[in-house]
Amino acid sequence: MEAILNIQELTRFFGGLAAVNNLSFEVHPEEILSLIGPNGAGKTTVFNLITGTLLPTRGKVLFQDHDITGTRPYETTALGVARTFQTTSLFYDETVLDNLIVAYRCRTRMGFFDALFQTSRCRDDERRSRQKAEEMLEFIGLSEQAKELALNIPQESQKRLAVGLALATEPKLLLLDEPMGGLTEEENIGMMVLIGKVRTRGISILLIEHKMKVVMNISDRIVVLNYGQKIAEGSPQDVSTNSAVIEAYLGT
């Protein structure tokens, strides 16, 4: 099977410390791959290297066979890689609907002069953005809260909205950084259902998550990081019985 994302010998140093060290793995089409590891293992750094927020010291990131190493974050998104952030990032002083409308901006072409003269491209883009936003509202289940400020909706809704923002950019690969952080047991299930629904749209998912129950349940495969290095890779069963993984998590 051809990989949608191919990470090759990715390395990033912060001073003398290797946050990510010689890491290679692949994400397959329509796969849910989880990236796990103890705090400080370098998981979020991997996300930042893929999206171009950080430049790697060494190594390559291939997306659909194109080298995207070091492309700027907005370019990476335009190519079809979307992400969410560990701290729920939203446009907090905008309504839920407005959040989703602006997230579709990278798929619209209208510019300053289109706005000034209200060209047909302007009207067309506005209409498509609104359509996309309504569709996403439905998809993430926030239609009821469309007119509320993102600031005022419950945490679970905010987490869903963050996923919705990433999805509105029409990605082929979605990077989720702890989408269930701070959610209750019951809310976890809701989020798992949502992530499953995303996959059925043909979107591959790379997931960072600390909740083992969720990870074991939802992942097709798991990559385990410790001190920036890959210490295990495989199916949930393989990984959960791997002695190196148990050692990293429980200590010796």
Partner 1 sequence: MNPTFRKWILLGVIIIAVIVPLVVTNKYYMNILIMSGIWSIVALSLNLILGYTGQVNLAHGAFFGIGAYASALMMLKLHMNFWLALPLASATAGFFGFLIGLPALRTRGSYFAIGTLCFNIIVTLIVDRFEGLTEGARGLMGIPGPGPIPLPWVGKIEFNTQLAQYYLILAFLLLTIFILRRIIQSLVGRSFRAIRGNEELAEAVGIQAMEVKLLSFTISCFFAGLGGVLYASYIGFLSPELTDYHVSFDALIYIMIGGVGTMVGPIIGTLLIVTLPETLHIAAEYRLLFYGLILIAMIIYLPRGIMGALKDLRGRKRKQEVLWKQS
Q: Where does this chain bind partner 1 (CB under 8 A)?
A: 51, 53, 72-74, 77-78, 82-83, 85, 89-94, 98, 101-103, 105-108, 110-112, 114-116, 118, 122, 125-126, 129, 149, 152, 165-166, 168-169
CB of 149 to partner 1, least distance (A): 8
The two three-digit tokens of residue 114, written as one number? 């289109």
**Residue whose entry in the numeric block shows the structure tokens 């969410």:** 84
Least Å distance, CB 231 to partner 1, is 29
Q: How far is the CB of 246 from partner 1 (least distance, A)?
A: 35
On the 0-12 / 13-18 / 19+ scale of CB atoms within 10 A, 237 is: exposed
CA distances from 32 to 107, 179, 197 (A): 25, 14, 12
Question: Using an 8 Å Cβ cutoff, are 9 and 56 in contact?
Answer: no
Instruction: Give whichever of 128 and 213 is closer to partner 1, judged by the CB atom.
Output: 128
Give whichever of 174 and 183 is closer to partner 1, judged by the CB atom. 174
Q: How far is the CB of 248 from partner 1 (least distance, A)?
A: 30
In Å, the largest CA–CA distance within the chain is 69
User: Cβ–Cβ contacts within 10 Å for residue 123, how many?
Assistant: 12
Q: Which is nearer to partner 1, 74 or 249 (CB)?
A: 74
15 or 147: CB nearest partner 1: 147
Residues 6+ apart with CB under 8 A from 246: none
- Alpha-carbon dihedral sign for residues 67, 72, 76, 81: positive
User: With respect to partner 1, which residue has the nearer C-beta, 152 or 235?
Assistant: 152
CB nearer to partner 1: pick between 111 and 196: 111
CB of 238 to partner 1, least distance (A): 33
Nearer to partner 1 among residue 22 and residue 89 (C-beta): 89
Query: Tokens 């209200």 correspond to what residue?
Result: 118
What b/e sequence results for 186-200 when a residue is b if at least 16 CB atoms lie within 10 Å of its CB, and e otherwise? ebbebbbebbeebbe
**Residue whose C-alpha is closest to residue 65's, from 137, 135, 3, 151:** 3
Q: Give least dist CB 131 to partner 1, A.
A: 13
Smallest gap from Cβ 180 to partner 1, in A, equals 19
